[in-house]
Chains A and B, each alone.
Chain A
Amino acid sequence: MTKNLPILIVLLPLIAAQLCLLLSKIHRHVGRWIVITAVSASLVMSVIQLLEVIDKGPVHYYFGNYKAPIGIEFSIDTVNAMILILICILGLLTCLFSNEFNQVSDETIIGGMNTVMCLLITGLLGMTSTGDVFNLYVFLEITSLSAYCLIAMGGNKGVVAAYRYMLVGTIAATLYLLGVAVLYANTGTLNMADMSEILNDGEYDDAMLLAMVLFVASFGIKMALFPFHGWQPAAYTHADTSARPLIAGAMGKIPAYAMFRYLFCVYGTDFKYFDYFLKVLGVLSVCAMLYGSIRAIGQKDMRKLLAYSSVAQIGYISLGFAIGTPVALAGAFLHMFGHAFMKAGLFFCVGAIVYRYGKFSLDDVGRIYKKMPLTCGLLVIAALSMVGIPPAVGFFSKWYLGLAAAKQADWIYLAVLVVSSLLNAVYFFRLIEQFFINEDRNLSQIKERGRIEASAWILIPVVVCFVAILALGLCNVKIVNILLMTLGEVGLC
């Protein structure tokens, strides 16, 4: 039974996505619950799989029993087993959260929305588990196409933002495919492990250089790394409110993971130009951390503020790759998990406020804490975690990054880490000031919603994110140890 876990995790949401629209025709809740059931089943299976991987080492799944270089392979180690769990949790929470939105609209829209969301989850899960370069391209496109649809559902501006993202995203996918072509022409294989063995001979350095430039550009666009981030603020701002936590929380992280796979697992530290790429990544992430934070300070729209903050936070993740030691990589991945929950949690809060009061602008929400205490509580925890206050996870991921930077004597990285955290504090305290201190705006509810601040479907994700941020922070040693089981072998020593 457990032999087929890797494929079942990806397959169940895919099947549910196909059934969802059809079953929504029968009753508008049937399709939605199919999706939620499938994603929960994937979550349970990915937890079982993580335990198994910790116990017995990496799992390789060969489709149709065709062995590796010929067949397609799913390879699961501790890093991507944990990312699978992250995607499943975020996907599940977002599906529950979207229950409350679109209550009145017709079943085709609800069914279609859940179908697309489920496809997005499928694509992310597939990108994470695959061990085949072309398979990754297909899952990348599944992810992007469903993301375009979800962004386009967010009204007039959403459509334009989605169209622009589509043009840029297709350039990224095309560049990736070109990189695959260059590698395939030289090695004649599409399997990552096999390709890594052939490339390590050192004959193909120039072709590898060309391919890596293309990969960095392509994944840089997809994860919104600094000079390639142009599509991201508009897309996050105008995406559909109920899908935004998944898009902002999980979608930007998986291309970062794919970049890690190429740089560290397929290419490896023996690659002749490895150090140059680390330097380039380092420069880009330093720029991202500063630029994203500075732009976020000037924003008046809460969604845009959080979107620019994402640009900065992606910089932290790629900074971990740029430092390149196992500890730095572990810090980067811890930040990936932490930031996914922080940003998703913040967007859940914004969603709850929008749901109740329909306001996006920071100036309109003065002293909203009186009316929504729980939501504002999470918002403060998530904001403090972003700034890096213990015991929230944001502190520990930055600590590991700083530790690794100091050990490698990369003092510039350490300085930028501190400066960027201070800039984070500037704009998050501005947010907190608006929510707690500024003049009361006497907001009126859009519709009468009863006495509690929001319905259970909205509060469950908020509370789960709150618990996850603290739990990740308190269990950080355990998580980093699990990550290091894989990362210990790949980084710089």
Chain B
Amino acid sequence: MIGTLLAGKGIFFLTLLLLGIGMAGIIVCENYMKKLICMNIMQVAVIFFFLCLGQKNGGTIPVALDSVINAADYINPLPHGLMLTAIVVSLGTTGVGLALLYRIKDRYGSIEERDIIRRGKDKQ
């Protein structure tokens, strides 16, 4: 019974685990670069989750073929289309994040949270 459950839903547990790892990492890590990496892991988890929804056994690529007539034989292209957008968005977020990190390193000389808090207090 566990076997069928894992075969059917196992992938969802794995993606949710990935999401949890990312989120926990953002909270726990002290290094801002590591936080950014965890943020990326979290975004990828949701992308996987969406892609699982589009997956289908025995389906073929969503391009009209002469030999395949039934709609049920094609996989659903919509989640993939959506996730292309989500990947672009996550690229944008990472870009902004890296630019901000560059600035933080420039202004504070460190990307460790402890140093930044200490130096922020000094500057007041």
Interface on A for B, CB 8 Å cutoff?
Answer: 134, 137-138, 141, 145, 148-149, 152, 156-157, 159-160, 162-163, 166-167, 170-171, 173-174, 177-178, 181, 184-185, 190
Contacts and interface: CB of A to CB of B under 8 A. Distances in A.
A167 B100 contact: no
Contacts of B86: 137, 177
B113 to A, nearest CB: 9
Interface of B: 19, 23, 26, 32, 35-36, 39, 42-43, 45-46, 49-50, 53, 78-79, 82, 85-86, 89, 92-93, 96-97, 100-101, 103-104, 107-108, 116, 120, 123
Nearest to A177: B46
A72 to B, nearest CB: 12
Query: Which one of B39, B89, B116 has the highest number of Cβ atoms from chain A below 10 Å of its Cβ?
Result: B89
B26 A156 contact: no
Interface of A is mostly: helix
A280 B47 CA distance: 29
A148 B96 contact: yes
A117 B100 CA distance: 18
Contact of A159 (B23, B50, B104): B104
Contacts of B107: 156, 159
Given A167-B35, A170-B39, A145 B120 contact: no
Contacts of B35: 167
A162 to B, nearest CB: 6
Nearest to B36: A167
B96 A145 contact: yes
24 contacts: A134-B82, A138-B85, A141-B89, A141-B92, A145-B92, A149-B96, A152-B100, A152-B103, A156-B120, A157-B120, A159-B103, A163-B101, A166-B93, A166-B100, A167-B35, A171-B23, A171-B42, A173-B89, A174-B45, A181-B46, A181-B49, A184-B79, A185-B53, A190-B78
A171 B104 CA distance: 21
A156 B39 CA distance: 23
B46 A160 contact: no
B53 A156 contact: no
Nearest to B92: A145
Contacts of B123: 156-157
